Chains A and B, each alone.
Chain A
Amino acid sequence: MMRTFEFPPQQLQARERAATLAKRSIVMISLSGILIYSVTGQSQTMKTAWITDFLSIVPSIALLVAMKRELKPATGRLPYGHYRVIAVCFLLTAVSLLSMGLFLLIDAVLKLIHGQRPVIGGLSIAGQMIWLGWPMIIALAISMFVGMYAGKAKQPVAKTLASKALEADSATHRNEYMSEGAGIFGVVLVAFGYWWGDATAAALISVQIVHEGYNNLKQVVADLMDESPTVLGTTELEPLPDTVKHVVERAAWVDSAMVRLREHGHVITGEIYVVPRNTEGLVSKIEELLADLKGVDWRLHALTIMPVRTLDHSKLP
């Protein structure tokens, strides 16, 4: 069976930190979600806010589950290992973001069409009756800061692990300021008598969620279709296949080479087709080359080097 991938020490540390941050955000965001829920009243903005708060926990839970499974050894049933469980979890979170965003958007637009006016009355706190809108704004502000903290903390860890799933998680949190900001603005509009402010803010927040969900979905679908590795957080292709090709072609016995790589969760695997100058001691040469390639990028794992007569695949069986 294939050797299980080993994360280098820096990345092992980063994984621990990612797990800690994931647990921490689950707790903090749940608390702020409950806080928002308790002052929701009949406001569409608040409803959108607490639902999206709990939604933003889904990536963290998915990541914790995935990280437990990804290093399980390969089996007869799963000869390529469990690395792709990361992409599966990524897919789940993208789909949940997208579908929830669509639902909230339709809900908010329907409220606007039907002219439903938000009811925000009084709340008794410490013996005083105050307008519920103020605690709503405070709850939204707290949620905003919790989100910003979680997002900022996760960002460098995502970079160290070159993890798309964690980067998407971090980006979702960092965008909280836009969501909660719009929510606060919505409640303020209602305060000034513009009843449509609430549903409009909720609709705008939902559009943003749909957008995020869609982008994440595009990314993970490409991943699952074995797209060549892309730079974290963008759709730009990484130069890694070319780098590997150059290292391979530097070997004396190699005439020319063709490289294709794909992401398997946190690791990168693939095939290298080489045209050898001669076939003496080919097996040892291939082993040596594989050992050399280890230093190119920590994510490379279980590469296949295949000697061929020509790189023109139309001439091969």
Chain B
Amino acid sequence: MHRAALLLILGLFVNACGLPRDPARTSEFIRGAEMRVGVVHNPPWVIDDGERVDGVEARLVSSIAVANGTRIEWVRQPEFELMELLLKREIQLVIGGFEATLPWAKEIAFTRPYITTPDGIGHVLAAPPGENAWLLSIDKILHAQRHSVPPMLAELAR
């Protein structure tokens, strides 16, 4: 039991030492540069009018962009194409109001649900599988923003 406690403490220290890392360095790649985000129109989560992208998730993506000091480039393609691009790490995120239980979960990485709707469905963003530092950083930002989501949802669902 002492060892387990020690490992936890070690983990907390090491957390500050830059672990985990991305095998393909996604986090480093986007910082100060640009972040390519795939969009799938699905109000109120993603509201795409061809020019501007709004919606609960678009706003969350803005927070992520600000936190990383990066520009957003929206990528519009059919959903399955976006997932391919995500797998190949040619884009860094896909938003589409995805539900946590979708079978995509087996192929790509879903974030922790940033909200669970009254019907019990958790909503997630999609990231490239294996880029765990990137995923963790998104999870942290979503977690920090969690209280702002219900008001956003209320506003956009009208």
Residues of chain A having any CB pair with chain B under 8 Å: 42, 116-124, 129-131, 133-134, 137-138, 141-142, 145, 190-195
- Can you name 13 A-B pairs with beta carbons within 8 Å? A42-B105, A116-B129, A117-B23, A117-B129, A118-B129, A119-B110, A119-B130, A121-B132, A124-B143, A129-B112, A129-B136, A133-B20, A192-B19
A100–B87 alpha-carbon span in the complex (Å): 30
Chain B contact residues, majority secondary structure: helix
CB pair B132 A120 closer than 8 Å: yes
A137–B10 alpha-carbon span in the complex (Å): 11
Within 8 A of A (CB), among B128-154: 129-132, 135-136, 138-140, 143
A131–B15 alpha-carbon span in the complex (Å): 8
Known contacts A118-B130, A121-B112, A130-B15: A193-B135 contact under CB 8 Å: no
B109 CB to closest chain A CB (Å) equals: 4
Known contacts A116-B129, A131-B132: A195-B23 contact under CB 8 Å: yes
Query: Which residues of chain A have C-beta atoms less than 8 A from B110's C-beta?
Result: 119
Residues of chain B having any CB pair with chain A under 8 Å: 1, 3-4, 7-8, 11-12, 14-15, 19-23, 105-106, 108-112, 129-132, 135-136, 138-140, 143
CB pair A119 B139 closer than 8 Å: no
CB pair B20 A138 closer than 8 Å: no
CB pair A137 B140 closer than 8 Å: no
Q: Which residue of B lies closest to A188 (CB)?
A: B19
CB pair B135 A119 closer than 8 Å: yes
Query: Which residues of chain B have C-beta atoms less than 8 A from A192's C-beta?
Result: 19-21
Q: Which residue of A lies closest to B130 (CB)?
A: A117
Query: Which residues of chain B have C-beta atoms less than 8 A from A145's C-beta?
Result: 1, 3-4
CB pair B8 A121 closer than 8 Å: no
Query: Which residues of chain B have C-beta atoms less than 8 A from A138's C-beta?
Result: 4, 7-8, 11
A134–B136 alpha-carbon span in the complex (Å): 12
Query: Which residues of chain B have C-beta atoms less than 8 A from A42's C-beta?
Result: 105-106, 109, 129
B51 CB to closest chain A CB (Å) equals: 32
A34–B56 alpha-carbon span in the complex (Å): 35
CB pair B132 A190 closer than 8 Å: yes
B59 CB to closest chain A CB (Å) equals: 19
CB pair A141 B3 closer than 8 Å: yes
Q: Which of B20, B105, B143 contacts A129 (CB 8 A)?
A: B143
Q: Which residue of B lies closest to A139 (CB)?
A: B4
A127 CB to closest chain B CB (Å) equals: 9
Query: Which residues of chain B have C-beta atoms less than 8 A from A122's C-beta?
Result: 111-112, 135-136, 139-140, 143
A240–B26 alpha-carbon span in the complex (Å): 67
B151 CB to closest chain A CB (Å) equals: 20
A191–B112 alpha-carbon span in the complex (Å): 19
A103–B95 alpha-carbon span in the complex (Å): 36
CB pair A191 B21 closer than 8 Å: yes
CB pair A121 B109 closer than 8 Å: yes
A2 CB to closest chain B CB (Å) equals: 50
A118–B143 alpha-carbon span in the complex (Å): 22
The 10 closest A-B pairs by CB, nearest first: A117-B130, A122-B139, A134-B11, A193-B21, A121-B135, A119-B109, A129-B143, A191-B20, A191-B19, A193-B23
Known contacts A117-B129, A134-B15: A141-B7 contact under CB 8 Å: yes
Known contacts A130-B15, A192-B19, A193-B20: A119-B112 contact under CB 8 Å: no
A105–B24 alpha-carbon span in the complex (Å): 26
Q: Which of B4, B12, B139 contacts A121 (CB 8 A)?
A: B139
CB pair B129 A119 closer than 8 Å: yes
Q: Which residue of B lies closest to A192 (CB)?
A: B21
A7–B1 alpha-carbon span in the complex (Å): 38
A131–B129 alpha-carbon span in the complex (Å): 15
A242 CB to closest chain B CB (Å) equals: 48
CB pair B20 A190 closer than 8 Å: yes
A132 CB to closest chain B CB (Å) equals: 8
Query: Which residues of chain A have C-beta atoms less than 8 A from B131's C-beta?
Result: 117
A121–B15 alpha-carbon span in the complex (Å): 13
